[in-house]
A and B are shown apart, each in its own frame.
Chain A
Amino acid sequence: GAGVSQSPSNKVTEKGKDVELRCDPISGHTALYWYRQSLGQGLEFLIYFQGNSAPDKSGLPSDRFSAERTGGSVSTLTIQRTQQEDSAVYLCASSLSGIGEAFFGQGTRLTVV
């Protein structure tokens, strides 16, 4: 597809389980962001990948959260030992160089029960 693709679109998991969220950015985009959005709220920055540079992990809320980007393309956000407060929509965005327009996926709605 031509846009940013995220999977799954919805995920319901039990408290304490691990989850993996996937993001396929637009081909050729060197910058990739993960954000978290709670119901009715703005975007909370989680992590930023830019080319071959070390990722900016300053937004990750705890060590239960991690992300990787393989081959400069697909990214996976992993949440270990999920908690109810992790419930939110997780949005991925990519941009051509990091200083231009950010294109967003439709998000993964995570519900921890």
Chain B
Amino acid sequence: TQLLEQSPQFLSIQEGENLTVYCNSSSVFSSLQWYRQEPGEGPVLLVTVVTGGEVKKLKRLTFQFGDARKDSSLHITAAQPGDTGLYLCAALSNFGNEKLTFGTGTRLTIIP
């Protein structure tokens, strides 16, 4: 069973600070996605990374896929209150079962 561990589980920081959240596994993935979920809503896709070592930027968000395709990080620069939410990584395995498996989540709160 693939297990995606996210850390930290909870993070509360002041507006304007930088932060990094992590998604780790012992399994190799064909691709990895990051989603953000706001209260009362379903998760919404932020980015998909597919190549080991790949870095993608989305405004103040920087996503990186590990060289070995087993881990990923999300870095937010100058956090804003609108960044508050539950951040979930999700991965597809390399082994034919393309079921999307979600990580344990990081609940981020940005304090104005």
Contact = CB atoms under 8 A, between A and B. Distances in A.
A102 interface: yes
Interface residues of B, number: 26
B82 interface: no
Nearest to A98: B98
Interface string A40-57: 111101001010000010
Contacts of B100: 33, 48, 93, 95, 98, 102
B85 to A, nearest CB: 12
A25 interface: no
B90 A42 contact: no
B48 A104 contact: no
B104 A42 contact: yes
28 contacts: A4-B42, A33-B99, A35-B102, A41-B105, A42-B88, A42-B102, A43-B43, A43-B88, A43-B105, A45-B99, A45-B101, A48-B99, A48-B100, A91-B42, A91-B43, A93-B100, A95-B100, A98-B98, A98-B99, A100-B48, A101-B33, A102-B35, A102-B45, A102-B100, A104-B44, A105-B42, A106-B40, A106-B42
Given A33-B99, A42-B105, A93-B100, 20 more contacts: A33-B100, A35-B102, A40-B107, A42-B6, A43-B43, A43-B88, A43-B102, A43-B105, A45-B101, A50-B98, A56-B99, A93-B42, A98-B98, A98-B99, A98-B100, A99-B31, A102-B43, A102-B100, A104-B44, A106-B40
Interface of A: 4, 33, 35, 40-43, 45, 48, 50, 56, 91, 93, 95, 98-102, 104-107
